[in-house]
Amino acid sequence: MLGCLKCLKYAFHWLLVSEVSMFQIDTSEVWVKKLGLYDEWAFVLLNRGPTNATVTLRLADIGLLYKPGYELRDLFKHTEIGHADSLEYRNYTVPATGAIMAYAYPSE
Ligand SMILES: *[C@@H]1O[C@H](CO)[C@@H](O)[C@H](O)[C@H]1NC(C)=O
Ligand SMILES: *[C@@H]1O[C@H](CO)[C@@H](O)[C@H](O)[C@H]1NC(C)=O
């Protein structure tokens, strides 16, 4: 599941071996990495707190600036999160002491 130790270990390993930017949004952290030369990204929403957290995030605020927006994919659940415009605020529910790891690629 999302909050599983294995997933967190995977996320931390990924963070350690990569060049990432970190943003603080309320009590949660967002870690962002650009993948390769193209406008593709991975980001992790990290919730260290004991309860589920709603993170309100705008992609433009973490460096994802492509105006038509991005398609988001949940890398832990292997599901589509869906489309998000770069300037749109979206809520993500991050499980207690858990994380969401997402892959973002530009919309057509
Ligand atoms: C926390 O979120 C999970 C799904 O991510 C849900 O199953 C659970 O009921 C939530 N817990 C609380 C206390 O809202
Ligand atoms: C996000 O959640 C906040 C409450 O935490 C709510 O006020 C806001 O309307 C929500 N925004 C969206 C886009 O769902």
- Indicate if ligand 1 lies below 6 Å from the C-beta of 52: yes
* Tens digits of residue pLDDT in 9-18: 666 666 665 6
Q: Whose C-alpha lies nearest to ligand 1, atom 10? A: 52
pLDDT in tens, 63-108: 999 999 999 999 999 999 999 999 999 999 999 999 999 999 999 8
Evaluate: CB of 89 within 6 angstroms of ligand 2: yes
CB 56 less than 6 A from any atom of ligand 2: yes
The DSSP string of the chain is -TT-HHHHHHHHHHHHTS--EEEEETTEEEEEEEETTTTEEEEEEEE-SSS-EEEEEEGGGGT---TT-EEEEETTTTEEEEEE-TT-EEEEEE-TTEEEEEEEEE--
pTM of the model: 0.79
